[in-house]
Structure 1
Amino acid sequence: MAEDVMRPLTPDFRMQGSTSDGGSIQKLAESYIKPNELLSSADRLEIYNRQYWFRVMGAVAEDYPGVLAILGEEKFDQLVLAYLKENPSTSFTLRNLGSKLSHWLEGHPEFAPRRHDLLVDVAKLEWAYIESFDRASLSPLSELDISGLTAESQLSLQPHLQLLDLRYPVDELILAVHRETEPAGVASNAASEHKHKKLKRLPTMRRSVIRLAIHRLENNVYYRRIDREAFLLLLAIQEGATLGAAIEKAFSDSKLSAADQAEKIQEYFAHAAGLGWFCLPPDHSPTKL
Protein backbone atom coordinates (compact mmCIF):
# COMPACT_ATOMS: atom_id res chain seq x y z
CA MET A 1 0.00 0.00 0.00
CA ALA A 2 2.87 2.38 0.77
CA GLU A 3 4.20 1.87 -2.74
CA ASP A 4 0.79 2.64 -4.19
CA VAL A 5 0.28 5.69 -2.00
CA MET A 6 3.67 7.10 -3.04
CA ARG A 7 3.26 6.36 -6.76
CA PRO A 8 3.63 9.68 -8.67
CA LEU A 9 0.46 11.44 -9.78
CA THR A 10 -0.46 12.18 -13.38
CA PRO A 11 0.28 15.69 -14.76
CA ASP A 12 -3.26 16.73 -13.76
CA PHE A 13 -2.66 15.51 -10.19
CA ARG A 14 -4.80 12.37 -10.34
CA MET A 15 -3.91 8.80 -9.46
CA GLN A 16 -2.42 6.77 -12.26
CA GLY A 17 -4.63 4.10 -13.82
CA SER A 18 -1.97 1.43 -14.12
CA THR A 19 1.31 0.32 -12.58
CA SER A 20 4.68 0.55 -14.33
CA ASP A 21 4.28 -3.03 -15.59
CA GLY A 22 0.77 -2.38 -16.94
CA GLY A 23 -1.23 -3.80 -14.03
CA SER A 24 -4.60 -2.32 -13.11
CA ILE A 25 -4.60 0.06 -10.14
CA GLN A 26 -8.33 -0.62 -9.77
CA LYS A 27 -7.78 -4.34 -9.25
CA LEU A 28 -4.79 -3.68 -7.04
CA ALA A 29 -6.84 -1.43 -4.78
CA GLU A 30 -9.65 -3.96 -4.60
CA SER A 31 -7.20 -6.59 -3.33
CA TYR A 32 -6.67 -4.81 -0.01
CA ILE A 33 -9.17 -1.90 0.35
CA LYS A 34 -12.91 -2.36 0.84
CA PRO A 35 -15.28 0.01 -0.96
CA ASN A 36 -17.99 1.84 0.97
CA GLU A 37 -21.36 3.32 0.09
CA LEU A 38 -19.79 6.41 -1.49
CA LEU A 39 -16.34 5.41 -2.71
CA SER A 40 -14.86 2.52 -4.64
CA SER A 41 -11.62 0.87 -3.55
CA ALA A 42 -9.70 2.91 -6.15
CA ASP A 43 -11.40 6.13 -5.01
CA ARG A 44 -10.28 5.50 -1.46
CA LEU A 45 -6.72 4.73 -2.54
CA GLU A 46 -6.64 7.88 -4.66
CA ILE A 47 -7.46 10.00 -1.62
CA TYR A 48 -4.35 8.72 0.16
CA ASN A 49 -2.27 8.93 -3.01
CA ARG A 50 -3.18 12.55 -3.69
CA GLN A 51 -2.88 13.62 -0.05
CA TYR A 52 0.61 12.14 0.17
CA TRP A 53 1.72 14.11 -2.87
CA PHE A 54 -0.03 17.30 -1.84
CA ARG A 55 1.74 17.07 1.51
CA VAL A 56 5.24 16.62 0.07
CA MET A 57 4.61 19.25 -2.59
CA GLY A 58 3.34 21.59 0.12
CA ALA A 59 6.52 20.99 2.12
CA VAL A 60 8.65 22.03 -0.86
CA ALA A 61 6.46 25.10 -1.38
CA GLU A 62 7.04 26.14 2.25
CA ASP A 63 10.81 25.93 1.72
CA TYR A 64 10.83 27.65 -1.69
CA PRO A 65 8.31 30.51 -1.60
CA GLY A 66 10.53 32.57 -3.89
CA VAL A 67 10.55 29.91 -6.62
CA LEU A 68 6.78 29.69 -6.24
CA ALA A 69 6.42 33.47 -6.53
CA ILE A 70 8.43 33.56 -9.78
CA LEU A 71 6.71 30.62 -11.49
CA GLY A 72 3.16 30.95 -10.25
CA GLU A 73 1.14 28.12 -8.76
CA GLU A 74 0.52 25.99 -11.87
CA LYS A 75 4.11 25.93 -13.16
CA PHE A 76 5.49 25.52 -9.66
CA ASP A 77 3.34 22.46 -9.00
CA GLN A 78 4.42 20.91 -12.29
CA LEU A 79 8.06 21.62 -11.45
CA VAL A 80 7.84 20.07 -7.99
CA LEU A 81 6.00 17.02 -9.31
CA ALA A 82 8.73 16.48 -11.93
CA TYR A 83 11.50 17.08 -9.37
CA LEU A 84 10.06 14.65 -6.83
CA LYS A 85 9.59 11.94 -9.46
CA GLU A 86 13.37 12.02 -10.00
CA ASN A 87 14.23 12.80 -6.37
CA PRO A 88 11.70 10.98 -4.16
CA SER A 89 11.72 11.28 -0.42
CA THR A 90 14.44 9.11 1.14
CA SER A 91 14.54 10.68 4.60
CA PHE A 92 12.43 10.46 7.73
CA THR A 93 12.05 14.25 7.64
CA LEU A 94 10.38 16.53 5.09
CA ARG A 95 13.19 19.00 5.71
CA ASN A 96 15.43 17.24 3.17
CA LEU A 97 12.92 17.06 0.31
CA GLY A 98 14.21 20.15 -1.47
CA SER A 99 17.92 19.59 -0.85
CA LYS A 100 18.66 18.83 -4.52
CA LEU A 101 16.29 21.31 -6.12
CA SER A 102 18.75 24.06 -7.08
CA HIS A 103 21.14 21.54 -8.64
CA TRP A 104 18.27 19.78 -10.42
CA LEU A 105 16.97 23.08 -11.75
CA GLU A 106 20.28 23.82 -13.46
CA GLY A 107 19.56 20.98 -15.85
CA HIS A 108 15.89 21.85 -16.37
CA PRO A 109 15.56 25.28 -18.01
CA GLU A 110 12.21 24.32 -19.56
CA PHE A 111 10.27 25.54 -16.53
CA ALA A 112 11.40 29.16 -16.97
CA PRO A 113 13.47 29.53 -20.16
CA ARG A 114 13.74 33.32 -19.92
CA ARG A 115 14.32 33.42 -16.19
CA HIS A 116 16.27 30.24 -15.69
CA ASP A 117 19.36 31.81 -14.09
CA LEU A 118 17.17 33.88 -11.78
CA LEU A 119 15.20 30.80 -10.74
CA VAL A 120 18.37 28.84 -9.96
CA ASP A 121 19.76 31.73 -7.90
CA VAL A 122 16.54 31.99 -5.89
CA ALA A 123 16.55 28.24 -5.23
CA LYS A 124 20.19 28.39 -4.09
CA LEU A 125 19.47 31.18 -1.65
CA GLU A 126 16.36 29.52 -0.26
CA TRP A 127 18.22 26.28 0.41
CA ALA A 128 21.12 28.23 1.94
CA TYR A 129 18.57 29.80 4.30
CA ILE A 130 17.49 26.35 5.47
CA GLU A 131 21.07 25.16 5.87
CA SER A 132 22.06 28.28 7.78
CA PHE A 133 19.09 27.96 10.12
CA ASP A 134 19.69 24.27 10.85
CA ARG A 135 23.45 23.83 10.90
CA ALA A 136 25.62 23.87 14.01
CA SER A 137 27.12 26.88 15.71
CA LEU A 138 30.55 26.19 17.23
CA SER A 139 32.50 28.18 19.79
CA PRO A 140 33.91 31.19 17.93
CA LEU A 141 37.55 32.20 18.13
CA SER A 142 38.33 34.90 20.66
CA GLU A 143 40.14 38.13 19.78
CA LEU A 144 43.19 36.67 21.52
CA ASP A 145 43.05 33.56 19.32
CA ILE A 146 42.78 35.68 16.18
CA SER A 147 45.66 37.94 17.20
CA GLY A 148 47.90 34.88 17.32
CA LEU A 149 47.19 33.71 13.76
CA THR A 150 50.06 33.35 11.28
CA ALA A 151 50.23 32.73 7.54
CA GLU A 152 50.41 28.99 8.23
CA SER A 153 47.42 28.94 10.56
CA GLN A 154 44.25 27.11 9.61
CA LEU A 155 40.82 28.00 10.86
CA SER A 156 37.28 27.12 9.94
CA LEU A 157 34.08 28.97 9.32
CA GLN A 158 30.92 28.34 11.31
CA PRO A 159 28.97 25.41 9.79
CA HIS A 160 25.91 27.65 9.52
CA LEU A 161 27.74 30.21 7.34
CA GLN A 162 26.81 29.79 3.67
CA LEU A 163 28.59 31.59 0.80
CA LEU A 164 26.87 32.25 -2.53
CA ASP A 165 28.11 33.89 -5.73
CA LEU A 166 24.90 34.89 -7.53
CA ARG A 167 23.89 36.51 -10.81
CA TYR A 168 20.90 38.45 -9.49
CA PRO A 169 20.15 40.43 -6.31
CA VAL A 170 17.75 37.74 -5.17
CA ASP A 171 18.20 38.66 -1.52
CA GLU A 172 15.87 41.59 -2.25
CA LEU A 173 13.32 39.28 -3.84
CA ILE A 174 13.42 36.74 -1.01
CA LEU A 175 13.04 39.43 1.63
CA ALA A 176 10.01 40.79 -0.25
CA VAL A 177 8.49 37.31 -0.38
CA HIS A 178 9.15 36.67 3.32
CA ARG A 179 7.44 39.91 4.27
CA GLU A 180 4.24 38.63 2.66
CA THR A 181 4.47 34.95 3.58
CA GLU A 182 3.71 33.66 7.05
CA PRO A 183 5.08 30.24 7.98
CA ALA A 184 2.48 27.46 8.10
CA GLY A 185 1.74 26.01 11.53
CA VAL A 186 1.63 22.35 12.41
CA ALA A 187 -2.15 22.46 12.13
CA SER A 188 -2.06 23.92 8.62
CA ASN A 189 -4.63 22.66 6.13
CA ALA A 190 -2.33 23.44 3.20
CA ALA A 191 -1.89 19.77 2.40
CA SER A 192 -5.60 19.08 2.11
CA GLU A 193 -6.50 22.20 0.17
CA HIS A 194 -3.29 22.36 -1.89
CA LYS A 195 -3.41 26.12 -2.26
CA HIS A 196 -0.64 28.68 -2.25
CA LYS A 197 -0.85 32.26 -1.13
CA LYS A 198 -0.85 34.67 -4.06
CA LEU A 199 1.78 37.37 -3.68
CA LYS A 200 1.79 40.95 -4.81
CA ARG A 201 4.11 42.26 -7.52
CA LEU A 202 7.71 41.27 -6.88
CA PRO A 203 10.69 43.64 -7.21
CA THR A 204 12.21 43.84 -10.69
CA MET A 205 15.35 41.75 -10.98
CA ARG A 206 18.20 42.96 -13.19
CA ARG A 207 21.33 40.89 -13.68
CA SER A 208 24.00 41.97 -11.22
CA VAL A 209 26.77 39.98 -9.54
CA ILE A 210 25.97 39.63 -5.85
CA ARG A 211 28.07 37.80 -3.30
CA LEU A 212 26.30 36.82 -0.11
CA ALA A 213 27.22 35.48 3.29
CA ILE A 214 24.19 33.82 4.85
CA HIS A 215 24.57 33.33 8.59
CA ARG A 216 22.61 32.75 11.77
CA LEU A 217 22.70 35.08 14.74
CA GLU A 218 20.50 34.61 17.81
CA ASN A 219 18.24 32.16 15.93
CA ASN A 220 17.69 34.54 13.02
CA VAL A 221 19.12 34.14 9.53
CA TYR A 222 20.67 37.16 7.84
CA TYR A 223 21.84 37.87 4.29
CA ARG A 224 24.95 40.03 4.15
CA ARG A 225 26.46 41.30 0.91
CA ILE A 226 30.25 41.15 0.79
CA ASP A 227 32.76 42.25 -1.83
CA ARG A 228 34.68 39.95 -4.13
CA GLU A 229 37.89 39.82 -2.07
CA ALA A 230 36.04 39.05 1.15
CA PHE A 231 34.09 36.31 -0.63
CA LEU A 232 37.24 34.70 -2.04
CA LEU A 233 38.98 34.93 1.32
CA LEU A 234 36.14 33.27 3.20
CA LEU A 235 35.65 30.65 0.49
CA ALA A 236 39.33 29.67 0.58
CA ILE A 237 39.22 29.36 4.36
CA GLN A 238 36.06 27.26 4.07
CA GLU A 239 37.84 24.99 1.59
CA GLY A 240 40.74 24.40 4.01
CA ALA A 241 43.43 26.79 2.78
CA THR A 242 45.95 28.23 5.21
CA LEU A 243 45.42 31.84 6.14
CA GLY A 244 48.31 33.00 3.96
CA ALA A 245 47.08 31.06 0.94
CA ALA A 246 43.53 32.36 1.46
CA ILE A 247 44.70 35.98 1.54
CA GLU A 248 46.85 35.42 -1.56
CA LYS A 249 43.90 33.95 -3.44
CA ALA A 250 41.62 36.80 -2.43
CA PHE A 251 43.99 39.51 -3.66
CA SER A 252 45.85 37.71 -6.46
CA ASP A 253 44.56 40.06 -9.18
CA SER A 254 43.57 43.02 -7.01
CA LYS A 255 44.45 46.54 -8.12
CA LEU A 256 44.54 47.79 -4.54
CA SER A 257 47.81 49.00 -3.09
CA ALA A 258 49.56 46.95 -0.41
CA ALA A 259 48.41 49.44 2.23
CA ASP A 260 44.80 49.28 1.03
CA GLN A 261 44.93 45.48 0.96
CA ALA A 262 46.17 45.41 4.53
CA GLU A 263 43.35 47.73 5.57
CA LYS A 264 40.81 45.52 3.81
CA ILE A 265 42.15 42.37 5.46
CA GLN A 266 41.94 44.01 8.88
CA GLU A 267 38.38 45.11 8.10
CA TYR A 268 37.33 41.63 6.93
CA PHE A 269 38.72 39.91 9.99
CA ALA A 270 37.27 42.43 12.42
CA HIS A 271 33.88 42.11 10.79
CA ALA A 272 33.89 38.29 10.63
CA ALA A 273 35.27 37.96 14.15
CA GLY A 274 32.62 40.34 15.48
CA LEU A 275 29.92 38.08 14.04
CA GLY A 276 31.62 34.94 15.38
CA TRP A 277 32.23 33.43 11.95
CA PHE A 278 35.67 31.97 12.73
CA CYS A 279 36.17 28.78 14.71
CA LEU A 280 38.77 26.06 15.08
CA PRO A 281 39.03 23.24 12.55
CA PRO A 282 37.58 20.01 14.03
CA ASP A 283 41.01 18.40 14.47
CA HIS A 284 42.77 21.43 15.97
CA SER A 285 43.18 22.68 19.49
CA PRO A 286 43.81 26.27 20.54
CA THR A 287 47.52 25.55 21.17
CA LYS A 288 48.08 24.79 17.48
CA LEU A 289 47.16 28.29 16.31
Structure 2
Amino acid sequence: MSNLFAPHYQQMLVANITNEPNNLSANTVSEASDVNDALFIYRNNYIETGIRALSITFPTVLALLGEDAFRNIAKLYLIKHPKDCFDWADYGAMFSAYLFDIDALADTPYIPEVAELDWRLSTIERQQDIDFDADSFALLQNYDAAKLNFVPAPGLQVMNVYFPVQELYSLVHHASPEENEHTKAEGIKNLKILIHSAINNPVLRSIVLWREHYKALFEYCEQMPAKAFESMVNESSVEQVLASFGDDQAAMSQWLQQHIGTRKIYAIATRNKTT
Protein backbone atom coordinates (compact mmCIF):
# COMPACT_ATOMS: atom_id res chain seq x y z
CA MET A 1 0.00 0.00 0.00
CA SER A 2 1.21 3.53 -0.76
CA ASN A 3 2.14 5.91 2.04
CA LEU A 4 -1.11 7.29 3.55
CA PHE A 5 0.76 10.35 4.79
CA ALA A 6 1.79 11.45 1.31
CA PRO A 7 0.43 14.89 0.29
CA HIS A 8 -2.16 13.51 -2.14
CA TYR A 9 -3.63 11.28 0.57
CA GLN A 10 -3.85 14.26 2.93
CA GLN A 11 -5.59 16.19 0.16
CA MET A 12 -8.06 13.38 -0.39
CA LEU A 13 -8.69 13.06 3.35
CA VAL A 14 -9.75 16.71 3.65
CA ALA A 15 -11.80 16.55 0.45
CA ASN A 16 -13.64 13.44 1.60
CA ILE A 17 -14.31 14.69 5.11
CA THR A 18 -15.78 17.96 3.88
CA ASN A 19 -17.36 16.31 0.83
CA GLU A 20 -15.64 18.78 -1.49
CA PRO A 21 -14.60 17.97 -5.07
CA ASN A 22 -10.88 17.44 -5.62
CA ASN A 23 -8.48 17.32 -8.53
CA LEU A 24 -6.86 14.01 -7.75
CA SER A 25 -5.78 11.92 -10.71
CA ALA A 26 -7.65 8.74 -11.60
CA ASN A 27 -4.54 6.75 -10.71
CA THR A 28 -4.38 8.29 -7.25
CA VAL A 29 -8.06 7.63 -6.63
CA SER A 30 -7.57 4.03 -7.68
CA GLU A 31 -4.62 3.65 -5.33
CA ALA A 32 -6.68 5.04 -2.48
CA SER A 33 -9.81 2.95 -3.05
CA ASP A 34 -8.88 0.66 -0.18
CA VAL A 35 -9.21 3.51 2.31
CA ASN A 36 -12.54 4.87 1.04
CA ASP A 37 -14.52 2.94 3.61
CA ALA A 38 -12.29 4.21 6.38
CA LEU A 39 -12.67 7.77 5.12
CA PHE A 40 -16.45 7.38 5.05
CA ILE A 41 -16.45 6.23 8.67
CA TYR A 42 -14.03 9.01 9.62
CA ARG A 43 -16.21 11.63 7.92
CA ASN A 44 -19.35 10.43 9.66
CA ASN A 45 -17.52 10.41 12.99
CA TYR A 46 -16.27 13.96 12.32
CA ILE A 47 -19.79 15.17 11.54
CA GLU A 48 -21.43 13.46 14.52
CA THR A 49 -18.72 14.57 16.94
CA GLY A 50 -18.98 18.11 15.58
CA ILE A 51 -22.76 18.23 15.91
CA ARG A 52 -22.50 16.98 19.48
CA ALA A 53 -19.84 19.58 20.29
CA LEU A 54 -21.88 22.41 18.77
CA SER A 55 -24.98 21.28 20.68
CA ILE A 56 -22.99 21.55 23.93
CA THR A 57 -21.66 25.00 23.07
CA PHE A 58 -25.00 26.30 21.74
CA PRO A 59 -27.64 24.67 23.98
CA THR A 60 -30.11 27.57 23.74
CA VAL A 61 -30.01 27.55 19.95
CA LEU A 62 -30.52 23.78 20.00
CA ALA A 63 -33.59 24.11 22.21
CA LEU A 64 -35.13 26.95 20.20
CA LEU A 65 -34.58 25.34 16.79
CA GLY A 66 -35.26 21.73 17.73
CA GLU A 67 -32.87 18.82 17.23
CA ASP A 68 -33.57 18.11 13.55
CA ALA A 69 -33.14 21.69 12.36
CA PHE A 70 -30.06 22.17 14.55
CA ARG A 71 -28.43 19.00 13.19
CA ASN A 72 -28.98 20.07 9.58
CA ILE A 73 -27.56 23.56 10.16
CA ALA A 74 -24.65 22.25 12.24
CA LYS A 75 -23.72 19.74 9.53
CA LEU A 76 -23.61 22.47 6.88
CA TYR A 77 -21.49 24.63 9.18
CA LEU A 78 -19.05 21.77 9.81
CA ILE A 79 -18.59 21.31 6.07
CA LYS A 80 -18.21 25.00 5.29
CA HIS A 81 -15.99 25.74 8.32
CA PRO A 82 -13.86 22.63 8.97
CA LYS A 83 -12.40 22.28 12.46
CA ASP A 84 -8.98 23.95 12.66
CA CYS A 85 -8.46 23.82 16.44
CA PHE A 86 -7.37 21.04 18.77
CA ASP A 87 -10.24 21.21 21.26
CA TRP A 88 -13.86 20.97 20.10
CA ALA A 89 -14.72 23.43 22.89
CA ASP A 90 -12.86 26.09 20.89
CA TYR A 91 -14.84 25.37 17.73
CA GLY A 92 -17.83 27.49 16.70
CA ALA A 93 -16.55 31.07 16.73
CA MET A 94 -18.17 31.76 13.34
CA PHE A 95 -21.43 29.93 14.04
CA SER A 96 -23.51 32.99 14.98
CA ALA A 97 -22.33 34.89 11.88
CA TYR A 98 -23.03 31.83 9.72
CA LEU A 99 -26.63 31.72 10.93
CA PHE A 100 -27.31 35.10 9.32
CA ASP A 101 -26.93 33.40 5.93
CA ILE A 102 -29.47 30.63 6.59
CA ASP A 103 -32.64 31.47 4.66
CA ALA A 104 -34.67 29.02 6.74
CA LEU A 105 -34.09 31.25 9.79
CA ALA A 106 -35.70 34.32 8.23
CA ASP A 107 -38.71 33.92 10.53
CA THR A 108 -36.50 33.61 13.63
CA PRO A 109 -34.05 36.53 13.22
CA TYR A 110 -33.14 36.42 16.92
CA ILE A 111 -31.30 33.09 16.58
CA PRO A 112 -27.90 34.59 15.61
CA GLU A 113 -27.89 36.84 18.69
CA VAL A 114 -28.81 33.89 20.90
CA ALA A 115 -25.97 31.91 19.30
CA GLU A 116 -23.54 34.75 20.02
CA LEU A 117 -24.71 34.75 23.64
CA ASP A 118 -24.24 30.97 23.92
CA TRP A 119 -20.73 31.26 22.45
CA ARG A 120 -19.68 34.03 24.82
CA LEU A 121 -21.01 32.19 27.87
CA SER A 122 -19.15 29.06 26.80
CA THR A 123 -15.84 30.89 26.36
CA ILE A 124 -16.24 32.80 29.64
CA GLU A 125 -16.65 29.57 31.60
CA ARG A 126 -13.26 28.41 30.29
CA GLN A 127 -11.38 31.57 31.28
CA GLN A 128 -8.50 31.24 33.72
CA ASP A 129 -9.61 31.78 37.30
CA ILE A 130 -8.36 34.66 39.46
CA ASP A 131 -8.75 35.43 43.16
CA PHE A 132 -11.14 38.05 44.50
CA ASP A 133 -9.08 40.54 46.51
CA ALA A 134 -11.34 42.44 48.92
CA ASP A 135 -8.41 44.17 50.66
CA SER A 136 -7.26 45.80 47.42
CA PHE A 137 -10.28 48.12 47.35
CA ALA A 138 -8.63 50.16 50.11
CA LEU A 139 -6.39 51.53 47.35
CA LEU A 140 -9.33 53.67 46.23
CA GLN A 141 -8.89 55.77 49.37
CA ASN A 142 -5.10 56.00 49.32
CA TYR A 143 -4.10 56.33 45.66
CA ASP A 144 -4.74 58.68 42.78
CA ALA A 145 -7.54 57.09 40.72
CA ALA A 146 -5.60 57.92 37.55
CA LYS A 147 -2.91 55.49 38.71
CA LEU A 148 -5.24 52.58 39.45
CA ASN A 149 -6.99 49.90 37.39
CA PHE A 150 -10.09 47.85 38.04
CA VAL A 151 -9.49 44.09 37.78
CA PRO A 152 -12.62 42.66 36.12
CA ALA A 153 -14.12 39.23 36.72
CA PRO A 154 -12.84 36.49 34.42
CA GLY A 155 -14.20 36.99 30.92
CA LEU A 156 -16.16 40.14 31.76
CA GLN A 157 -17.43 41.77 28.56
CA VAL A 158 -20.28 43.78 27.08
CA MET A 159 -22.52 42.55 24.27
CA ASN A 160 -25.04 44.67 22.36
CA VAL A 161 -28.32 43.11 21.21
CA TYR A 162 -31.61 44.04 19.58
CA PHE A 163 -33.64 41.00 20.56
CA PRO A 164 -34.80 39.87 24.04
CA VAL A 165 -32.04 37.30 24.42
CA GLN A 166 -32.28 37.20 28.21
CA GLU A 167 -35.97 36.28 28.00
CA LEU A 168 -35.29 33.70 25.29
CA TYR A 169 -32.49 32.20 27.37
CA SER A 170 -34.73 32.07 30.44
CA LEU A 171 -37.48 30.37 28.42
CA VAL A 172 -35.08 27.51 27.72
CA HIS A 173 -33.01 27.27 30.90
CA HIS A 174 -35.10 28.73 33.72
CA ALA A 175 -38.59 27.47 33.00
CA SER A 176 -40.15 26.11 36.16
CA PRO A 177 -41.93 22.73 35.96
CA GLU A 178 -44.43 24.09 38.49
CA GLU A 179 -45.63 26.79 36.09
CA ASN A 180 -49.19 26.21 34.93
CA GLU A 181 -50.12 26.29 31.26
CA HIS A 182 -51.71 29.74 31.54
CA THR A 183 -48.51 31.25 32.99
CA LYS A 184 -46.40 29.61 30.29
CA ALA A 185 -48.74 30.85 27.58
CA GLU A 186 -48.62 34.40 28.94
CA GLY A 187 -44.83 34.29 29.05
CA ILE A 188 -44.60 33.14 25.43
CA LYS A 189 -47.15 35.76 24.39
CA ASN A 190 -45.12 38.54 26.02
CA LEU A 191 -41.94 37.19 24.45
CA LYS A 192 -43.53 37.32 20.99
CA ILE A 193 -44.48 40.94 21.63
CA LEU A 194 -40.88 41.77 22.54
CA ILE A 195 -39.56 40.03 19.42
CA HIS A 196 -42.12 41.81 17.22
CA SER A 197 -41.12 45.13 18.77
CA ALA A 198 -37.42 44.43 18.17
CA ILE A 199 -38.11 43.72 14.50
CA ASN A 200 -40.30 46.76 13.88
CA ASN A 201 -38.68 49.26 16.24
CA PRO A 202 -35.12 48.05 16.89
CA VAL A 203 -33.39 49.51 19.93
CA LEU A 204 -29.85 48.46 20.81
CA ARG A 205 -29.45 47.24 24.39
CA SER A 206 -26.36 46.24 26.34
CA ILE A 207 -25.69 43.05 28.25
CA VAL A 208 -22.81 42.54 30.66
CA LEU A 209 -21.41 39.02 30.90
CA TRP A 210 -19.07 37.70 33.59
CA ARG A 211 -18.19 34.59 35.55
CA GLU A 212 -18.96 33.99 39.19
CA HIS A 213 -16.99 31.02 40.47
CA TYR A 214 -17.29 28.66 37.47
CA LYS A 215 -20.69 29.79 36.20
CA ALA A 216 -21.05 32.33 33.39
CA LEU A 217 -23.78 34.89 34.05
CA PHE A 218 -25.26 37.87 32.23
CA GLU A 219 -27.77 40.66 32.69
CA TYR A 220 -29.02 43.76 30.92
CA CYS A 221 -27.38 47.03 31.88
CA GLU A 222 -28.08 50.67 31.17
CA GLN A 223 -26.01 52.99 29.01
CA MET A 224 -23.72 54.52 31.67
CA PRO A 225 -22.89 51.22 33.42
CA ALA A 226 -22.26 49.59 30.02
CA LYS A 227 -19.87 52.41 29.09
CA ALA A 228 -18.06 51.97 32.42
CA PHE A 229 -17.72 48.20 31.89
CA GLU A 230 -16.38 48.70 28.37
CA SER A 231 -13.85 51.22 29.66
CA MET A 232 -12.81 48.79 32.40
CA VAL A 233 -12.36 45.93 29.92
CA ASN A 234 -10.20 48.24 27.78
CA GLU A 235 -7.92 48.69 30.83
CA SER A 236 -8.69 52.36 31.31
CA SER A 237 -7.78 53.88 34.65
CA VAL A 238 -10.24 53.95 37.53
CA GLU A 239 -10.52 57.68 36.94
CA GLN A 240 -11.50 57.16 33.29
CA VAL A 241 -13.94 54.37 34.10
CA LEU A 242 -15.74 56.42 36.72
CA ALA A 243 -15.86 59.40 34.34
CA SER A 244 -18.49 57.37 32.44
CA PHE A 245 -20.99 58.59 35.07
CA GLY A 246 -20.20 62.28 34.61
CA ASP A 247 -21.37 64.28 37.61
CA ASP A 248 -23.81 61.61 38.79
CA GLN A 249 -22.06 60.62 42.01
CA ALA A 250 -25.03 58.58 43.23
CA ALA A 251 -25.02 56.42 40.09
CA MET A 252 -21.26 55.97 40.34
CA SER A 253 -21.42 54.88 43.99
CA GLN A 254 -24.30 52.52 43.29
CA TRP A 255 -22.42 50.96 40.37
CA LEU A 256 -19.32 50.40 42.49
CA GLN A 257 -21.19 48.88 45.43
CA GLN A 258 -23.42 46.70 43.29
CA HIS A 259 -20.73 45.26 41.05
CA ILE A 260 -18.13 44.71 43.71
CA GLY A 261 -20.89 42.89 45.58
CA THR A 262 -21.81 40.78 42.55
CA ARG A 263 -18.11 40.21 41.82
CA LYS A 264 -17.97 41.73 38.40
CA ILE A 265 -15.06 43.73 39.81
CA TYR A 266 -12.48 41.45 41.45
CA ALA A 267 -9.83 43.86 42.65
CA ILE A 268 -8.02 47.18 42.33
CA ALA A 269 -4.46 47.25 41.03
CA THR A 270 -1.86 49.93 40.45
CA ARG A 271 -1.31 50.72 36.79
CA ASN A 272 1.84 49.47 35.12
CA LYS A 273 1.42 51.62 32.03
CA THR A 274 0.45 55.15 31.17
CA THR A 275 -2.43 56.21 28.94
**How far off its partner does 1:283 sit?**
6.5
**How far off its partner does 1:148 sit?**
3.8
Match of 2:121 in 1: 129
The whole-number CA distance in structure 1 between the counterparts of 2:213 and 2:154 is 15
**How far off its partner does 1:56 sit?**
0.9
Give me the CA root mean square deviation.
3.4
The whole-number CA distance in structure 2 between the counterparts of 1:23 and 1:73 is 40
Match of 1:140 in 2: 132
TM-score by length of 2: 0.72
**How far off its partner does 1:135 sit?**
0.7
Match of 2:108 in 1: 115
Match of 1:20 in 2: 22
Match of 1:96 in 2: 90
Is the aligned partner of 1:276 residue 2:258? no
**How far off its partner does 1:280 sit?**
5.0
The whole-number CA distance in structure 2 between the counterparts of 1:109 and 1:251 is 41
For residues 86 and 149 of structure 1, do their structure 2 counterparts lie closer, same or farther at Cα, with a shift above 3 Å needed? farther
On the 8 A contact 2:156/2:233 being kept in 1, the answer is no
The whole-number CA distance in structure 2 between the counterparts of 1:169 and 1:237 is 25
Match of 1:49 in 2: 43
The whole-number CA distance in structure 2 between the counterparts of 1:282 and 1:134 is 26
Number of aligned residue pairs: 242
The whole-number CA distance in structure 2 between the counterparts of 1:271 and 1:150 is 22
Describe the superposition over 1:107-132 as per-residue Cα deviations: whole angstroms up to 9, x where unpaired: x253422333x122101110111122
Aligned partner of residue 219 in structure 2, secondary structure: strand
Describe the superposition over 1:151-191 as per-residue Cα deviations: whole angstroms up to 9, x where unpaired: 413333223223222112212222332358xxxxxxxxxxx
Is the aligned partner of 1:262 residue 2:249? yes
Higher helix share: 2
For residues 28 and 274 of structure 1, do their structure 2 counterparts lie closer, same or farther at Cα, with a shift above 3 Å needed? farther
Match of 1:76 in 2: 70
The whole-number CA distance in structure 2 between the counterparts of 1:62 and 1:8 is 26
The whole-number CA distance in structure 2 between the counterparts of 1:101 and 1:280 is 36
Which amino acid counterpart does residue 90 of structure 2 have in structure 1?
Answer: N
Match of 1:62 in 2: 56
TM-score by length of 1: 0.69
**How far off its partner does 1:138 sit?**
2.3
The whole-number CA distance in structure 2 between the counterparts of 1:233 and 1:140 is 20
Is the aligned partner of 1:236 residue 2:231? yes
